[in-house]
Structure 1
Amino acid sequence: MKKIPVAEAVGSILCHDITQIIQDVTKQAIFRKGHVIAAEDVPVLLSLGKENIYVWEADETMMHENDAAEILYGFCHNEGIAKSEVKEGKIEAIATRDGCLKVDTTRLLNLNLVEEIMIATIHSNRFVKQGEKLAGMRVIPLAIAKDKMESLAKMVGETPLLNLIPFNRKKVGIVTTGSEIFKGRITDKFGPVIREKLAPFGCEILGQTITDDKVADIVSAIKAYIEMGADMVVCTGGMSVDPDDVTPSAIREVGAEVISYGAPVLPGAMFLLSYLDGKPILGLPGCVMYSKATIFDLVLPRIMIDERLTKLDLAILGHGGFCNSCSTCNYPSCAFGK
């Protein structure tokens, strides 16, 4: 690759895309990599502010940016992930299925510490829909040393940086606690919300049981769903500190291992995570009923790929776990939980 005046470039091979940007109108490549510059192209290039231009010259030690981008994509490629065409030296990784995206953030950081290299991804652990863009990658210069890319491949290793894990279709039982609902004083609002949040994961809802504020009744309802083959039980209501809020006690009574009662997330501080013979038993606070995005939304994608969450996993959510309750909710395309 060498730099020459545009006026002297006729007959040379362009080694990168030339993009025209007109604010609020267009951003598109006028000339593509590999284009042979003709005499009529010179005034167009000059109008774009290109007094000088890079053209290709053979150099066995260097690699073009497009070829380098292909290598970077190879570091990210995994099942359920496809690539865009190379455009202006950049490739984007795209989801070909729904799933929970896992990013190896440590190796990604090490890679991005290398000069002239970049891979940018969306956040790890989030729900991803088919067709969604996951990452973009390119090298900074128009050409990069081949031996540098070879060393980078050794550093990254064979395991992809990205993993898009499909969701497991779970059977779910819903246990709703509250004397006010059980005795017909108010209408249950939890059930429809829980069904709506579980729908994108393809869950089978085994049913919803409404119980009084009695430990024995809640325990009986949880056990009944486990016996029906539930892979997960979601308990709603009775998660506060009032005398009648006994759901946490019932979850312990049923024999579940409580990982945490409480999480550094707002909305969702009174969330309870437990496991009974490997099956998640969740206690959801009232905020899940009326807030657009809560702790439930943050943990659900990971639970649906059978990731066993720990106290540490929940503690990490404290950084970014404060929701600003925007008038128009854009979750997950926002900072909440990130």
Structure 2
Amino acid sequence: MKIVPVQEAVGMVLCHDITQIIPGKFKGRAFKKGHVVKKEDIPKLLDIGKENLYVWEINQEQLHEDDAARRIASAAVGSGITLTEPKEGKVNLVANQMGLLKVNTEALYQINEIEEVMFATLHTNQIVVQDKVVAGTRVIPLVISNSKIHNVEKICQNNYPLVEIKPFRSIKVGMVTTGSEVYHGRIQDKFGPVVSQKIEALGSYVFRQIFVSDSIDMIVEAIHQLLREGAEMITVTGGMSVDPDDVTPAGIKAAGGRIVTYGAPTLPGAMFMVAYIGKIPVLGLPGCVMYSRSSIFDLVVPRILAGEEISRKDIIALGHGGLCVNCKECRYPDCGFGKGV
């Protein structure tokens, strides 16, 4: 910060607000802190009575906060995101499509370790809709050293993209609904409509639902039938508990499923199964998916539809944040459920 004559301040940054007072008519801010002085500002500043100004001088070693925010955001942004113009030194990153938000959290930590720089995001791996603000960045002072911004850009380059939105694929989903009580028509199926609605909300569709009794052989045949008909994902609903009549896990395995996990550190959703037959995901859905507003289904299926293959490590990581507290008014995905990583 330094004091300079008004006439010499062109291209420099004001360090404080400048107030204008017109007796009986106006009192307020004429120039805002952070304003870059222009040649046309000189007469007004002199009229206000300002012959000298406190300024930051911008040069090759220093960047104005607006320019710094632009550079940080531009280096970090990936597909599916639009940048806003700087406002009060801040640039927002806004979703331009519905999809799965992905944040490189390790790189984000590295950026925020740099003094005078901040970058805030929503939690990774959550569904976002178009026009949702997913991140924002700025620097703390009015001006910052160019070398710090260069360091941020280097981190982003080595970990690109820092933030992106993966679009959801539209795929054919097959459903196997187990349970002798449903198969024999004793009760109406409640599982199918819920799963279909969730799938359709993400842009995919259930092309066929097959009802089977609590029979490993019937489950195997239903899964194979759906595969023959081109299913790109299969859900097997019900029969996931330790009850001797619940044979869904055994049926998925007998159908050729490579089991990634049977069990997940989430509530609701502990009895969830992820398996693959070739590259086709086969999910064993516990009963909570039918009656819980948010469950393990909502944490895993969006990632599959975004083109990700689910690993056991992915499931284990859900433990931190995997407790849904059943809020009276559910705010998912804008809540802590499943947001531990």
TM-score band, normalised by shorter chain: 0.7 to 0.9
Structure 1 residues 192, 53: closer, same or farther in 2, change over 3 A?
Answer: farther
Match of 2:118 in 1: 118
Q: How far is the alpha carbon of 1:80 from its aligned partner?
A: 1.3
For 2:3 and 2:288, locate their aligned partners in 1 and report how far apart those are by CA, in whole Å. Answer: 61
Q: Partner residue of 1:307? A: 308
> Partner letter of residue 288 of structure 1?
V
Q: For residues 181-192 of structure 1, what are the structure 2 equivalents within 5 Å?
A: 181-192=182-193
Q: Distance in 1 between matches of 2:326 and 2:16?
A: 42
2:209 corresponds to 1:208: yes
Q: Does the 8 Å CA contact 1:206/1:225 hold for their aligned counterparts?
A: no
Distance 1:58 1:165 in 2: 38
The verdict on how the C-alpha distance between 1:284 and 1:3 changes in structure 2, with shifts beyond 3 A counting, is farther
Give distance in 1, aligned partners of 2:15 and 2:177.
Answer: 61
- Structure-2 residue corresponding to 1:103: 103
Q: What is the rounded CA distance, in whole Å, between the counterparts of 2:211 and 2:289 in structure 1? A: 17
Is the 1:16–1:34 Cα contact (8 Å) retained in structure 2? no
TM (normalized to structure 2)? 0.86
Q: What is aligned with 2:153?
A: 153
2: CA distance between counterparts of 1:171 and 1:148?
48
* CA distance, structure 1, for counterparts of residue 267 and residue 322 of structure 2: 6
Tell me the matched-pair count: 318
Match of 1:335 in 2: 336
CA distance in 1, matches of 2:16, 2:175: 55
Cα deviation digits, residues 72-105 of structure 1 (max 9, x gap): 1012222211111210000000111111111111
- Say if 1:3 and 1:156 are closer, same or farther in 2 by CA, change over 3 A: farther
Where does residue 246 of structure 1 map in the other structure? 247
SS in 2 for 1:157: helix
Amino acid at match of 1:315: I
State the 1:55 CA deviation: 3.8
Distance change (3 Å), C-alpha of 1:327 and 1:57: same
Corresponding position of 2:23: none
Q: Is the 8 A contact 2:265 2:315 kept in 1?
A: yes
> What is the root-mean-square deviation in Å for CA atoms of aligned residues?
2.7
Give the structure-1-normalised TM-score. 0.86
Q: Which runs of 5+ in 2 are unaligned?
A: 18-28
The one-letter code of the counterpart of 2:317 is I
Q: Which residue of 2 aligns with 1:326?
A: 327
Unpaired runs of 5+ residues, structure 1, are 19-28, 44-51
Distance (whole Å) between structure 1 residues aligned to residue 31 and residue 242 of structure 2: 66
Q: Cα 1:96–1:214, aligned 2, differ >3 Å: closer, same or farther?
A: same
Q: Name the SS of the counterpart of 1:136 in structure 2.
A: strand
CA, structure 1 residues 138+293, in 2 after alignment: closer, same or farther (shift >3 Å)? same
Identity within the alignment, %: 45
In 1, are the aligned partners of 2:196 and 2:205 still within 8 Å (CA)?
no
Query: Displacement of 1:40 after TM fit?
Result: 11
CA distance 1:185–1:117, shift in 2 (3 Å): same
Q: 2:265 touches 2:319 (CA, 8 Å); kept in 1?
A: yes
Helix, strand or coil at the partner of 2:319: coil
